């Protein structure tokens, strides 16, 4: 389909004109004063997630121009093409059908194929859970996932996020770094006869994963482990290589499943073992509900659409180069790392679908930490630094807790108080970012400590806050498998919206390849010392490292 690139549309020029005339100097405090209904009109409901976008740096005109841009870029057609299995990943000649992985049986593309693997995987997961914590050989106490990138970040994020729903007699470990210290640290904690290793690699050739898998197998044999086929399973499409390794139990997936979108596939096996089949299906159902919202909700109410368009407005017109995600829930502590790959590997591109060099910026830098930890680290910069960095708060109204007998009634009440304190911190930070503190307010305060050398005016200047810093707030009623599935899918679709507007391929990742190829050349040189043909810096470093 012939679709104009965003900078070739009428709406793009209109947005540029709007930015120069009004958008450059938008002030949230003025917008709230002039539009009493701003909160109600900019708070949208998606499945399991409420999103308040009222503190974003945009107004009615901004949103009108952005919606025009989406129409001119024929965003709905691009979205529907993905759903229908078109080869939207043109550079790899593949579809991108991760939505089919969470569709109910009979509804998505390749339904029987998907559900055949899903059923086998969940049956295996439930069988492991049935013998968890026992003393007989083969009873599992620990699950070690060996993977990297999309084969690691998803399960590593979801399992602690849903701690209240995980099996109480199983421990989960994640090994990704080719630095052997990563794996050795885990191996010191486990016993071969009670450990299940999951080797997660689509091709079963991923350098870091297979290096760690071979090391794990050697440790297993050295420690007297027996029956590799019972203690090693693989999530891969390369059954032949897995068999050569000694693995007989494999769960496959397909080339239309991108790594960073693969959590819903067999890559989610550790999650299935942790949660059990019922809760894993709830995770899929939450994601599917968000899919339905994205594909069916009208533009005015479509939450992933608006978030993706907001990212375009911020990146290309407001000039914001990064975005901070602060989940006010300790269980979501790995969510920022998961989103880093999703956003920056998907949309960190410099050419459009036709190979033309882009004259505008694409993916922002995404980073973050859980609140309140971040408040005592980088929030100083968010409030008073020279860069304006949009911040996303994720609040959970109720955190499910495991009923395991370790929490007394008094402790439960204390935990409820702490949770209210956590929520109050998130609300206060959003409020402070918007309102700031004037010089007059700072002068009227009596600071806890005051310099004897600096006059009050100088001290007050250090205690002023410009305010008008943008944020948005997402609220989950509770952190459950269904709500987490919906939240992850919301972020997936948001990324696809901005990528489609920018006219890039959000599904390939050629930027990962160059360093891998160079590594394969440098590895034997570190052994031999041969530096012929290398640049001076690399040659000198090889000599030093030898």
**Active-site residue, from 189, 376, 397, 462:** 376
Domain 6-72+297-400+411-435+470-508 and domain 98-281, same fold? Reply is: yes
Condensed to tens digits (0 to 9), the pLDDT of residues 303-312 reads 999 999 999 9
Task: Give the residue among 196, 155, 194, 191 at the shortest CA–CA distance from 174.
Answer: 155
* CATH class of the domain whose range is 6-72+297-400+411-435+470-508: alpha beta
Lowest mean pLDDT among 29-33, 50-54, 398-402: 398-402
Q: Catalytic annotation on 278?
A: no
**Active-site residue, from 22, 107, 189, 516:** 516
Q: Catalytic annotation on 437?
A: no
**Given pLDDT bands bounded at 50, 70 and 90, which one contains residue 447?**
confident
pLDDT higher than threshold 80 for residue 452 = no
Which helix H or strand E contains 472, and what residues bound it?
strand 471-478
Q: Cα–Cα distance between 147 and 177 in angstroms, integer?
A: 9
Lowest mean pLDDT among 114-123, 466-475, 510-519: 510-519
Cα-based distances in Å from 350 to 220, 317, 503, 506, 509: 45, 17, 10, 11, 12
The per-residue pLDDT for 1 is: 56
Tokens of 337: 């790392």
**Active-site residue, from 208, 345, 364, 369:** 345
Which helix H or strand E contains 145, and what residues bound it?
strand 142-146
The per-residue pLDDT of the chain, averaged, comes to 95
Question: pTM for the whole thing?
Answer: 0.97
Q: Cα–Cα distance between 246 and 73 in angstroms, integer?
A: 50
Sheet holding 391-398, edge to edge: 43-46, 49-52, 471-478, 391-398, 322-328, 365-367
Condensed to tens digits (0 to 9), the pLDDT of residues 275-297 reads 999 999 999 999 999 999 999 99
Angle, vertex CA 532, rays to CA 527 and CA 535, nearest 5: 105
98-281 CATH pick, 3.40.50.10490, 3.30.1360.30, 3.40.50.300, 1.10.10.10:
3.40.50.10490
Q: Domain residue spans in the chain? A: 6-72+297-400+411-435+470-508, 98-281, 513-545
Angle between helices 481-502 and 75-83 (to 10 degrees): 130
Q: Give the phi and the psi of residue 265 in degrees, each rounded to 5.
A: -95, -160
Note whether 51 and 43 are within 8 A (CB).
yes
Q: Give residue for tokens 């989103």.
A: 339
Task: Give the residue among 60, 53, 70, 183 at the shortest CA–CA distance from 472.
Answer: 53
Note whether 150 and 260 are within 8 A (CB).
yes
Q: Give the phi and the psi of residue 435 in degrees, each rounded to 5.
A: -85, -35
With a pLDDT cut of 90, the percent of the chain lying above it is 92
Cα-based distances in Å from 110 to 7, 117, 202, 253, 507: 36, 11, 18, 11, 19
pLDDT higher than threshold 90 for residue 543 = yes
Q: Cα–Cα distance between 402 and 422 in angstroms, integer?
A: 19
Q: Cα–Cα distance between 274 and 269 in angstroms, integer?
A: 9
Condensed to tens digits (0 to 9), the pLDDT of residues 166-223 reads 999 999 999 999 999 999 999 999 999 999 999 999 899 999 999 999 999 999 999 9
Q: What is the mean pLDDT of residues 104-121?
A: 96
The per-residue pLDDT for 197 is: 98
Q: Catalytic annotation on 345?
A: yes
Q: Cα–Cα distance between 368 and 366 in angstroms, integer?
A: 7
Rounded to 10 degrees, what is the CA torsion of 185, 191, 196, 202?
A: 30
């Amino acid at each position: 389909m012939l679709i104009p690139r965003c900078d070739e549309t009428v709406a793009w020029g209109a947005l540029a004109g709007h930015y120069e005339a009004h958008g450059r100097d938008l002030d949230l405090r003025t917008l709230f004063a002039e539009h009493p209904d701003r909160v109600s009109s900019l708070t949208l409901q998606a499945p399991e997630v409420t999103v308040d976008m009222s503190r974003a740096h945009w107004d009615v005109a901004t949103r009108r121009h952005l919606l025009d841009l989406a129409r001119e870029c024929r965003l709905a057609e691009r979205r529907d093409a993905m759903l229908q299995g078109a080869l939207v990943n043109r550079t790899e000649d593949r579809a991108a059908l991760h939505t089919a992985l969470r569709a109910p049986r009979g509804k998505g593309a390749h339904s029987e194929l998907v559900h055949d693997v899903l059923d086998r995987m969940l049956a295996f997961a439930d069988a492991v859970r049935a013998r968890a914590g026992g003393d007989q050989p083969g009873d599992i106490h620990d699950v070690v996932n060996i993977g990297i990138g999309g084969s690691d970040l998803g399960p590593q994020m979801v399992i602690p996020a849903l701690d209240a729903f995980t099996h109480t007699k199983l421990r989960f470990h994640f090994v990704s770094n080719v630095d052997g210290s990563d794996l050795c640290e885990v191996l010191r904690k486990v016993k071969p006869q009670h450990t299940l290793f999951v080797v997660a690699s689509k091709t079963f050739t991923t350098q870091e994963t297979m290096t760690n898998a071979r090391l794990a197998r050697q440790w297993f044999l050295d420690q007297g482990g027996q029956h590799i086929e019972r203690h090693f399973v693989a999530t891969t499409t390369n059954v032949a290589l897995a068999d050569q390794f000694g693995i007989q139990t494999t769960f496959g997936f397909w080339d239309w499943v991108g790594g960073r979108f693969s959590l819903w596939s067999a890559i989610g096996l550790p999650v299935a073992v942790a949660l059990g089949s019922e809760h894993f299906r709830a995770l899929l159902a939450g994601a599917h509900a968000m899919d339905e919202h994205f594909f069916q909700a009208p533009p005015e109410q479509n939450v992933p659409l608006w978030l993706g368009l907001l990212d375009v407005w911020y990146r290309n017109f407001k000039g914001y180069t990064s975005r901070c995600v602060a989940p006010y829930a300790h269980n979501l502590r790995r969510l920022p790392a998961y989103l880093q790959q999703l956003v920056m590997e998907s949309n960190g591109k410099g050419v459009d679908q036709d190979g033309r060099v882009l004259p505008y910026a694409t993916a922002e830098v995404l980073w973050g930490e859980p609140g309140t930890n971040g408040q005592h680290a980088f929030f100083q910069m968010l409030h008073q630094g020279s860069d304006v960095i949009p911040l996303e708060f994720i609040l959970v109204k109720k955190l499910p807790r495991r009923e395991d007998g370790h929490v007394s009634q008094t402790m439960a009440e204390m935990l409820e108080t702490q949770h209210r304190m956590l929520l109050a911190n998130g609300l206060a930070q959003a409020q402070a970012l918007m309102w700031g503190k004037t010089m007059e307010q700072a002068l009227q305060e009596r600071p806890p400590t005051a310099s004897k050398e600096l006059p009050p005016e100088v001290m007050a200047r250090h205690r002023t806050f410009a305010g008008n810093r943008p944020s948005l707030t997402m609220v989950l009623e509770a952190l459950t498998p269904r709500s987490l599935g919906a939240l992850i899918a919301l972020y997936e679709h948001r990324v696809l919206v901005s990528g489609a507007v920018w006219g890039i391929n959000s599904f390939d990742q050629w930027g990962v390849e160059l360093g891998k190829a160079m590594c394969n050349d440098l590895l034997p040189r570190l052994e031999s010392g041969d530096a012929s043909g290398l640049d001076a810096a690399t040659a000198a470093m090889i000599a030093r490292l030898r």
